[in-house]
């Protein structure tokens, strides 16, 4: 086992809770939507950097199942931004980044759903890096949905209740086929998960920083990875 941090393994899957956009705008006396616009630029920058560093899976929390509680004009501004950004995702396609969207897409506009499906379809065979974007995502919603799918299979006589194990439940999550998250980064000073990847983070390491997401730099991302490499993960063992 390598104990020098530079030799320690990279996190295979990194989760990022993109928080602090609103406060970034407020500090500048701007409407919150300007913070989201700036945060979207940080998103692009960190995706590129993750790819350069050789990260295999990265999930960005973009909109939670609870974020619908925000004022309508803010929700609309965020949705508009997604729509615009999805057009720019052709750049990621050119770079052979595989894209996947997790969450309950049925509540999103037709336009968004079509664009998401297109990106997923066109990039499905790429394997340099998998970029996962959580939109209308909630960990509880995801687990509830998995339970419903299993109940349907039981009802249809396809499986027996005794067959329900962790592996089966995991296969019904939106993240089926994606390894558990190793490192979760949350900027903005909040130290909570806010319903992000609650099943997948059972043994994740956390990195919290007070920096607001629009100000989050490549260096901050590297710092989080370095700190991760210094941690000792035991997974219940010794
Ligand atoms: C995160 O930034 C973006 C979304 C939740 C869509 P916030 O909008 O939560 O920013 P703060 O937390 O209010 O500063
Ligand atoms: C979490 O941030 C959701 C996203 C970043 C998309 P929130 O700002 O919604 O979380 P809370 O409300 O502070 O817990
Ligand atoms: Mg927030």
| pLDDT exceeds cutoff 80 at 195 | yes
Q: Using an 8 Å Cβ cutoff, are 35 and 21 in contact?
A: yes
In a domain, 58, yes or no: yes
In a domain, 194, yes or no: yes
In a domain, 150, yes or no: no
Q: Whose CA is nearest to atom 8 of ligand 2?
A: 19
Q: In what order do the strands lie in the sheet with 13-17?
A: 97-102, 129-137, 57-64, 13-17, 183-186, 205-208
CA of 163 to the centre of ligand 2 (A): 36
CA of 38 to the centre of ligand 2 (A): 16
Residue 109 is encoded by which pair of tokens?
A: 């506009």
> Would the CB of 19 count as within 6 Å of ligand 1?
yes
Give the integer Cα–Cα distance in Å for 65 and 85: 20
Nearest listed ligand to the Cα of residue 213: 1
Under 8 Å CB-to-CB from 97, ≥6 apart: which residues? 47, 51, 123, 126, 128, 129, 130, 131
Catalytic position from the list 3, 7, 19, 195: 19
Q: Whose CA is nearest to atom 13 of ligand 1?
A: 22
Would residue 67 show up in a list of annotated catalytic residues for this protein? yes
Q: What is the mean pLDDT of residues 37-63?
A: 98
The count of domains in the chain is: 1
> Would the CB of 187 count as within 6 Å of ligand 1?
no
| pLDDT exceeds cutoff 60 at 2 | no
| pLDDT exceeds cutoff 70 at 88 | yes
Q: What is the mean pLDDT of residues 73-83?
A: 97
pLDDT at 4: 52
Q: What is the CATH number of the domain that holds 40?
A: 3.40.1180.10
Nearest listed ligand to the Cα of residue 32: 1
| pLDDT exceeds cutoff 70 at 164 | yes
In a domain, 143, yes or no: no
Question: Taking the model in full, what pTM does it have?
Answer: 0.96
pLDDT at 7: 78
Torsion angle of alpha carbons 175, 181, 187, 190, nearest 10°? 90
Residues 208-223 have pLDDT tens digits of 999 999 999 999 999 9
Q: What is the mean pLDDT of residues 171-189?
A: 98
The residue range of the domain holding 126 is 13-138+181-230
- Ligand 2 atom at minimal distance to the Cα of residue 66: 9
| pLDDT exceeds cutoff 80 at 1 | no
């Amino acid at each position: 086992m390598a104990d020098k941090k530079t030799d320690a393994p990279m996190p295979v899957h990194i989760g990022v809770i993109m928080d602090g956009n609103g406060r970034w705008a407020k500090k500048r006396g701007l409407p919150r939507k300007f913070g989201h616009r700036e945060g979207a630029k940080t998103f692009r920058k960190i995706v590129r950097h993750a790819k350069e560093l050789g990260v295999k899976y990265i999930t960005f929390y973009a909109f939670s199942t609870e974020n619908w509680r925000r004022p309508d004009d803010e929700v609309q501004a965020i949705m508009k931004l997604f729509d615009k950004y999805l057009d720019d995702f052709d750049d990621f396609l050119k770079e052979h980044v595989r894209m996947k969207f997790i969450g309950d897409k049925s509540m999103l506009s037709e336009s968004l759903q079509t664009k998401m499906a297109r990106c997923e379809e066109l990039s499905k065979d790429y394997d340099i890096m998998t970029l996962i974007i959580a939109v209308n995502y909630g960990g509880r919603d995801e687990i509830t949905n998995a339970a419903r799918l299993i109940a349907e299979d039981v009802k249809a006589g396809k499986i027996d209740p005794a067959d329900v194990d962790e592996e089966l439940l995991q296969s019904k999550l939106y993240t089926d086929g994606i390894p558990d998250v190793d490192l979760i980064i949350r900027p903005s000073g909040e130290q909570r998960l806010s319903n992000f990847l609650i099943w997948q983070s059972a043994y994740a390491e956390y990195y919290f920083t007070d920096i607001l997401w629009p100000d989050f730099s490549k260096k901050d991302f590297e710092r989080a990875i370095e700190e991760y490499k210094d941690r000792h993960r035991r997974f219940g063992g010794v």
